[in-house]
Structure 1
Amino acid sequence: MTTDTPRRLVLLRHAKADWPEVPDHERPLADRGRREAPAAGRWLADQGILPDLVLCSTATRTRETWKLLAPELPHRPPTRYEDRVYEASPGELIALVNQVEDEARDVLLIGHNPAVHATADILAGGGDPRARAGLAGGFPPAALAVLTLDGGWSGAEPGSATLTHYWSPREP
């Protein structure tokens, strides 16, 4: 694959987490989250958006989201559990994306708000009006944004992507 091949970045906020008395990093999914994570996977599969690589925060709630989402896809892509995604800033997430090998065409990044929402907003220089309206309305648990980029991953920078899809399990 050349750097001329368009890339697709899917930014997914982990599904709804519970609030037990455990450290934040160890918070598990709530019952609602265990229902929403597979729904996100079904939506990706239905759209034909099948990641070649998954970058997932090491937090319990993101790992559980991925574990429940993955069976909905036709194949399980390689997964990298990244400490850098937990508590990352948008700039740190973009820097992580910049390091992805260009052989990966579609990348799914599973992380946390507010960074995931801000990263989608920062990268999107334009896009589908309905998707932009959805993104402007917030980024609830299990929501995802799909952005396309021309060129290699190292070229991902503010305004360089097009927002093609926004999905939330809360949509009617």
Structure 2
Amino acid sequence: MDNRDARSNNQHTLIVMRHAKSAWHTGATDHARPLNDRGLRDAPAAGKVLSELGQPIDRVLCSSALRTRQTWEGAERGGARASEVTHHDEIYESHPGEILQLVQQLDDSVGCALVVGHYPGVALLVQGLAEGSNHRGIAQITEKYPTSAISVLRFAGSWADLEVGGAELVDFVIPRG
């Protein structure tokens, strides 16, 4: 289904991704922590997964932290593409409600959006939105949301109306490079 079909059916796709594995002992502030070697391998693998979803990404909402920006750059090297990418301080160290507020501000012409963020915000966001979903990935997400993990959620209606329990988890992937 392309984005025109999704929009005509008032269907939207939200992809939620945790940043790839980051380096810890760099001396940098948390916001400036870069990806480690594994993260640099996993980010392009995540990009390959994103490129194979069969739905173009219209908008990326990426945390302003270095490791999330590097994750998206690596994903692009792996084949992921987006019409627009924006960076948001609000996603860094945020609660799921803050991320949801950003998502709810999307224009309904956006058929597919990707959030690149941090644990635990991304895990809690997916758990909340997919509450009641019976996809096998819910158990894994509840237990642990690993680095580079990707959740794909779909819902009918406006971005502004997206709420807890309002989306269906349709895929959960943990890419490794």
Query: What TM-score results when the alignment is normalised by the length of structure 2?
Result: 0.89
Residue 61 of structure 1: which of 57, 67, 72 is its match? 67
Distance 1:95 1:34, change over 3 A: same
**Paired position in structure 2 for 1:155:** 161
Aligned residues: 170
Per-residue CA deviations over 1:41-64 (Å, capped at 9, x if unaligned) read 111212214311000011000000
Offset, 1:130: 2.0
Query: Residues 7-156 of structure 1 correspond to what in structure 2 (within 5 A)?
Result: 7-19=12-24, 20-73=26-79, 75-156=81-162
- Quick one: distance in 2 between partners of 1:126 and 1:51? 26
- Quick one: distance in 1 between partners of 2:171 and 2:20? 18
Per-residue CA deviations over 1:65-121 (Å, capped at 9, x if unaligned) read 000101333644210111111111011011111001111000000000100000000
CA contact (8 A) 1:7 1:105 kept: yes
Q: Which amino acid aligns with 1:11?
A: V
CA contact (8 A) 1:12 1:110 kept: yes
- Quick one: distance in 2 between partners of 1:158 and 1:117? 13
Q: Which 5+ residue runs of structure 1 have no aligned equivalent?
A: none
CA contact (8 A) 1:50 1:73 kept: no
**3-12 vs 78-87, which moves further:** 3-12
CA contact (8 A) 2:48 2:80 kept: no
Q: Aligned-pair RMSD on alpha carbons?
A: 1.7
Offset, 1:169: 2.7
- Quick one: distance in 1 between partners of 2:80 and 2:117? 22
Offset, 1:14: 0.3
Q: Which amino acid aligns with 1:13?
A: R
**73-82 vs 11-20, which moves further:** 73-82
CA contact (8 A) 1:124 1:160 kept: yes
CA contact (8 A) 2:60 2:82 kept: no
Residue 173 of structure 2: which of 156, 167, 171 is its match? 167
3-state SS of paired residue (1:12): strand
